[in-house]
Amino acid sequence: MLYRRPSRLPAGRYPVLYAKVVLGLPIDGPFDYLVQPDMANKISVGARVWVNFRNKKEVAYVVGLSSKTRIKKIKEISTLIDTAPVLDKKMLLLTRGLAEYYCCSWGEAIETALPDELRKGREVARGWVGDDKEDEIGLVRTDPALPRAFRPRSLLLPVTPGNDVHFVQGLDRMQVYLREIKEAWALKRSAIILFSDIPEAEKAKELIEKELGTEVSLAFRKQPKELKVWEGIRQQQCSIVVGTRSSIFSPVNNLGLIIVDQEQNQVYKQEQVPHYHARQVALMRAKICGAKAVLGGCVPSLESFYLGQKDKLKFEVVPAKTAYPQVKVIDARRLPYRDRKNKPIFSKFLSDAIYTTLTEKGKLLLFIERKGFATSAACHNCGVALKCPRCNINLVFHFDEDRLKCHHCNFKMEVPKICPSCNTGYIKYSGIGTEKVESELAKVFPQARVKIFGGENKPGLNPDADVFVATSSVIKHQDLSFDLIGVMAIDNSLNRVDFRAAEKTFALLMGLASLTSKKMIIQSVNVSHHCFQALIKNDQQIFLKEELRQRKQLNLAPYRHMVLIKLRGINSEAVKKAARDLFERLSQVNAPGVKMLSLSTGQPPKLRGNFYYQILISASSAEKASRFLRLHLKEGHYSGIIVTVDVDPV
C-alpha cells in the first residue's frame, strides 16, 4: 500500500521508521520503505523482508534504517522474514565493496553470497552468534534522532592488500596450509580454504580433520542440504570451512585466515553476474575482517607476482621433494622436409622417446588440449564446414560415438554421408584430438596399451595401460607420476586472441611438469618464447618478469584494469548497432583514468543462439571504471539486448 509521509506525529507515538532496502535485481538502490509500527522493534540491518516492487512480491535486504525519507508517497514493508539478521555488518560491507568493484547492484552482490533457499525467502531459525559490534562497521548514514541500534555510521574500508598477504609456492604447499590453519585455530579464529574443485576440497577436508581432530565443514554451491550447512557454519563461534569459489562467502564468525589454493586458476572467476574473482574477494574480506590471506599455487598469477614486486605480498617457496624434469622443446619448423610435408602427429624425436620409454616398461602421458577425433568436418568438394546452428562453431567429430558435437552447448548430430550443402562431396575431417592421438599411437606403436584419461578414470585404476592420452584435467591428480610427458599442439593455446594466453599456457605446462621427474618433450613452432625458455631453465622469474615487461608496455593488467562490456541478443544486426552506438557514446565522454580501447565481436561471436559484441575498456582502478559505467550505461536502453559488465576478465 502507498502512504503519505506524516508531517507531525501524534503524541505518545514512536518515531516513524523507514527501511533502506536493496533487491537482487540489476537496479541500484537503496529504496525507502515504511516500517510498520509492530515491526519497529523487530527489524534490523541485515534482515530480509518481503516488499512490493513494480507490482511484484520480492525479497529485499535491509541495509539501513532512518527516521527520514524524501519520498512523499511511500510503500510499506509487507512482511518481515527475519527477526535476526542473516547478513552481519562485515558481510554487508563486503558485498557493497564487491558491488562497487564489479559494477553490479548491491542486491545482486548480496544474493551471490547467500544460498538459493534464502534468496527465495525461506526462513531461518536463529541469528549470528558472532561479536558484531554496531560501532565497528556501518553501512548507510542515518538520522541522529534514531535510537543507537539504528545508527550505523558510514565506512568503506580499502581493499588494497597489506603485508598480511602471503603466497605459498610449491607442490607440497598443503603442509604450509596446515601450519597456518593450526595457528588460527589455536587463537580461536575461523578459517576458509578455497580449492579449484570439489574432489580437492574433499581430500583437504579429510586431511585437516585428521590433523586437527575437529569437524571441518564442506561448502559449495547447490550441494545437498546447502542451507543446513550454511546455518551450521553460522552457529559456530569458531569453524574451519573448506570449499570451492562460493565458499568465500561462508558465514563464519571470528574470521582469522583465508587460503586460496591454485589462485591462478580461472575457475575462481564467476561466469554469471556479478563476475567476481574469488581471489579479489578473499583479499577484500581479509582486509575488512583483519584476517590473514594466503594465496597458493605452482606458479603465481601476474597479479600476485606484481603485488610481490611492490612488497605488498610475501612469498614462501616450498622446496620440491622430487627432481625437476629435463624439458626439451622441439622446433617444428626445423623438421625434415618429409615430416613437414606429411605433418605427422609425433615428431621423430618424440617417437624415439616414446619407443625408448615403452621398451623400458615406463609410463607415458601424451597431452593435447582437445577432445574428440577431429576438430573440423568439412565438405571435400565445396569446402563448407559443418557448424553448430546455435553457436556457429565447428562441430567436433567423436569417433567412439560416431557423432558430431558442439563443445559449447549440447547440440549433437549424426555424421552425414554426403555434404548437406552441395549434396555431392564427402565429409573430410581435419585437426587432432585425444581420440586421433589414441588412434595414431595404435598404428605407430601396436604393442602399446593406450587409454584416454578422462578425469574420472585415473591411470592408477588402469594398471595394464602403458600410454595415457589426456587433456588438462590430468593436472588435478598430483599423486600421478610418469616417465615421459609429450605435449602436442600447445601453440593453439599460446596463440589465442587473449592477452593472458601466455600466462595460462605457462601455468598449464608447469602443472604438467609436476607430473614427472624425468622428461618432458614439447612440440612447438615458437621455441624462443619466454614461456618455453623459463621451463627449460627451470626459472619462473624468466617468464614472469618478461610477461610483466610486455604488459607494462601495452598498458595491460596488472598495470591497468581491463573491463569488458558484453552485449548479447538474438538479432545480429540489432546487437551490432547497439554496440556501435554505445561505443561511440562512451568514447565522447572525457573520463579521467578511463580509456576506450576497442569494439569487436565476442569470443565466440555466437553462443547458444545469441550474438555477442564486446567493448574493451582500460581504467586506472576498477572502482573508477565501475562509477563511470554506472553513470553512463543508464543513458541508453536497447530493446531485446542484454548488457553485462565483466571487470578484470580472465
Domains assigned to the chain: 2-150 (3.40.1440.60), 165-317 (3.40.50.300), 326-370+432-552 (3.40.50.300), 561-647 (3.30.70.600)
This prediction has a pTM of: 0.90
C-beta neighbour count of 541 within 10 angstroms: 10
Tens-place pLDDT, residues 603-612: 889 999 999 9
Residue 120: per-residue pLDDT: 93
Q: Is the pLDDT of residue 564 over 70?
A: yes
pLDDT at residue 582 greater than cutoff 90: yes
Q: How many helices (H) and strands (E) does the chain have?
A: 17, 29
Range name among 1-5, 293-297, 341-345, 584-588 with the lowest pLDDT average: 1-5
478 or 534: which leads in pLDDT: 534
Average pLDDT value for the chain? 88
Tell me the C-alpha distance between 377 and 427, whole Å.
6
Provide mean pLDDT across the span 561-565. Answer: 96
Residue 158 has pLDDT above 50, yes or no: no
Sheet holding 292-297, edge to edge: 217-219, 240-243, 190-194, 255-260, 292-297, 165-169, 314-317
Q: How far apart are CA 630 and CA 103, in angstroms?
A: 7
- Inform me whether the pLDDT recorded for 13 exceeds 60: no
Instruction: Map residue 115 onto helix, strand or coil.
Output: coil
pLDDT at 136 over 80: no
Residue 464 has pLDDT above 80, yes or no: no
Mean pLDDT over 267-291 rounds to 96
- Supply the pLDDT for residue 417: 85
Residue, of 46 and 10, whose pLDDT is higher = 46
- pLDDT grade for 190, boundaries at 50, 70 and 90: very high
259-263, 318-322, 484-488, 571-575: which has the minimum mean pLDDT? 318-322
| Class of residue 410 by CB neighbours under 10 A (exposed 0-12, middle 13-18, buried 19+) | exposed
> Is residue 202 pLDDT above 70, yes or no?
yes
Give 216-248 pLDDT, tens digit per residue. Answer: 999 999 898 999 999 999 999 999 999 999 999
CA 258, CA 294: separation in Å to the nearest integer? Answer: 6
Residue type, 78: S
For residue 340, the model assigns a pLDDT of: 62
Q: How far apart are CA 404 and CA 564, in angstroms?
A: 32
| pLDDT tens by residue, 23-60 | 999 998 899 999 999 998 999 999 999 999 999 999 99
Percentage of residues of the chain with pLDDT beyond 90: 74
DSSP state of 15: P
3-state SS assignment for residue 485? strand
